[in-house]
């Protein structure tokens, strides 16, 4: 069990390292419902191990605080009632110090638990908990960026950023994939989420997919070409979203003295035209593709072609609705709530982003968000 324990310790430490440089005031703020405050996220990722591992499989386990199930449950109806999502930011109690003591308490007992563990099914459940925490690590970065961006003092993240973004310097080329029947979905013995199963066949017609992501410079051409004011580029729903919210550029962008700037975790900076565009909605990705006379790939086209290009800097919008694969089998109880109940009104994104934790990406990974959401590191790749 040494490898599993090492992995548990590494992932738990990385979570805390993200927040090490924060001021205490940073831990509680929740500017919008989809952005969780750091303190709640630290508690929630600990609650997962306490609730699904220790309470179920450790004889005589004493819950740290019975009230925390209500505080830190996210959306698991099978586990009980919870604080409504948009109220996470009003929880001045428990204190940050109490939440860290909660993490330490659970970590210490998990350490002893893993050392004596032999049950294969429980090992799988712990791995799911670690993958869950890695998902939240990416959310920590994106939630924190959103919160800090609203401060007029141009607040910078003072800690170490473990990731960087590479410029898209290659000339755009399109890789052709011949029509045929292909197999998609996860296969192998390593971890995957249940929404990546079952592996199955799909038929794809000929298509060509770009070798690189769309850049900031290319997206500026879309903006300055008046496309945010041209209904012909947009879905009807997207056009309504643009007008209702007065959208004029990707999230975090602003123009000053004819120069585009954007907020980064290191503060406001001029937009680098060579970097891949980020923080765009599905609506914007679709509109850009429409403007270029191209389209977004389906998730199956993306998966089949993924070996033809480099990926991992941006979650890439696809033109596929988030739906179950043939033969999808939802687990019983609370674990079954993890993915299945969200398979409606959302779009699939493929790949990974610079904020995705190490070892947490694979070509079959199916991320999903509502088409208007853009606080994640989202971008696009064209198909024709």
The DSSP line for 260-280 is EEEEETTEEEE--TTSBP-S-
Whether 174-379 and 2-149 are alike in CATH topology: the answer is no
Query: Distance between CA 164 and CA 157 in Å, rounded?
Result: 14
Give the residues across from 254 on adjacent strands.
261
Question: What kind of fold does domain 2-149 have according to CATH?
Answer: 1.20.120
Contacts for 170-175: CB closer than 8 Å, 24+ residues apart: 170/211, 170/212, 172/210, 172/211, 172/212, 173/210, 173/211, 174/208, 174/209, 174/210, 174/211, 174/384, 175/208, 175/209, 175/210, 175/211, 175/305, 175/308, 175/309
Give CA separation, 81 vs 50, 51, 64, 70, 77, in Å. Answer: 16, 14, 18, 6, 7
Question: At which residue do the structure tokens 């729903």 appear?
Answer: 237
CA distances to 89, 194, 295, 305 from 322, rounded to whole Å, are 29, 13, 18, 19
What is the token pair recorded at 180? 């045929």
pLDDT of residue 2: 86
Contact 301, 308 (CB under 8 A): no
What would the two tokens of residue 294 be? 């191209």
Neighbours of 291 (CB within 10 A): 17
Which residue, 49, 60, 64, is CA-closest to 114? 49
Strand partners, 215: 276
Are 98 and 39 in contact, with CB atoms under 8 Å apart? no
10-residue mean pLDDT profile of the chain (384 residues): values are: 92 96 96 97 97 97 97 92 95 97 98 95 96 97 97 94 91 96 96 96 98 98 98 98 98 97 97 98 98 98 97 98 93 79 95 96 98 98 97
What pLDDT score does 1 carry?
64
3-class secondary structure, 210: strand
Domain 174-379: state its class. Answer: alpha beta
The domain locations on the chain are 2-149, 174-379
Number of neighbours of residue 244 by Cβ within 10 angstroms: 9
Report whether the peptide linkage leading into residue 198 is cis, meaning its omega lies within 30 degrees of zero. Answer: yes
Environment class of 255 (CB within 10 Å of its CB; exposed 0-12, middle 13-18, buried 19+): middle
Tokens, residue 271: 């937009």
- In the DSSP assignment, the letter for residue 65 is -
């Amino acid at each position: 069990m040494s490898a599993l324990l090492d992995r548990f310790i590494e992932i738990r430490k990385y979570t805390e390292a993200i927040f090490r440089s924060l001021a205490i005031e940073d831990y509680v703020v929740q500017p919008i419902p989809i952005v969780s405050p750091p303190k709640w996220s630290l508690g929630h990722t600990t609650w997962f191990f306490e609730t699904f591992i220790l309470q179920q499989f450790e004889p005589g386990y004493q819950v740290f605080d019975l009230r925390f199930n209500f505080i830190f449950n996210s959306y698991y109806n099978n586990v009980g009632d919870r604080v409504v999502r948009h109220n996470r930011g009003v929880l001045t109690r428990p204190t940050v110090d109490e939440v860290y003591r909660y993490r330490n308490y659970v970590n210490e007992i998990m350490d002893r638990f893993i050392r004596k563990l032999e049950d294969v099914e429980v090992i799988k459940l712990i791995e799911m908990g670690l993958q869950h925490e890695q998902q939240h690590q990416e959310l920590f970065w994106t939630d924190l960026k959103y919160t800090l961006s609203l401060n007029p003092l141009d607040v910078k993240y003072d800690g170490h950023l473990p990731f960087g973004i590479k410029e898209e310097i290659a000339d755009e080329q399109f890789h052709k994939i011949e029509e045929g029947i292909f197999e998609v979905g996860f296969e192998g013995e390593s971890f995957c989420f249940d929404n990546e199963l079952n592996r199955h066949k799909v038929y794809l017609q000929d298509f060509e997919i770009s070798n690189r992501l769309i850049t900031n410079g290319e997206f500026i051409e879309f903006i300055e070409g008046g496309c945010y004011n041209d209904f012909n580029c947009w879905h009807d729903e997207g056009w309504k979203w643009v007008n209702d919210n007065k959208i004029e550029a990707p999230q975090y962008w602003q123009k000053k003295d004819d120069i585009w700037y954007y907020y980064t975790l290191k503060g406001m900076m001029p937009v680098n035209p060579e970097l891949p565009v980020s923080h765009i909605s599905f609506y914007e990705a679709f509109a850009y593709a429409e403007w270029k006379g191209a389209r977004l790939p389906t998730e199956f086209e993306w998966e089949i072609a993924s070996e033809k290009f480099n990926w991992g800097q941006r979650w890439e919008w696809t033109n596929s609705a988030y739906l179950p694969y043939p033969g999808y089998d939802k687990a019983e109880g609370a674990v079954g709530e993890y993915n299945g109940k969200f398979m409606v009104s959302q779009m699939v994104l493929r790949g990974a982003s610079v904020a995705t934790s190490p070892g947490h990406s694979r070509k079959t990974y199916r991320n999903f968000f509502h088409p208007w959401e853009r606080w994640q590191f989202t971008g696009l790749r064209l198909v024709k």
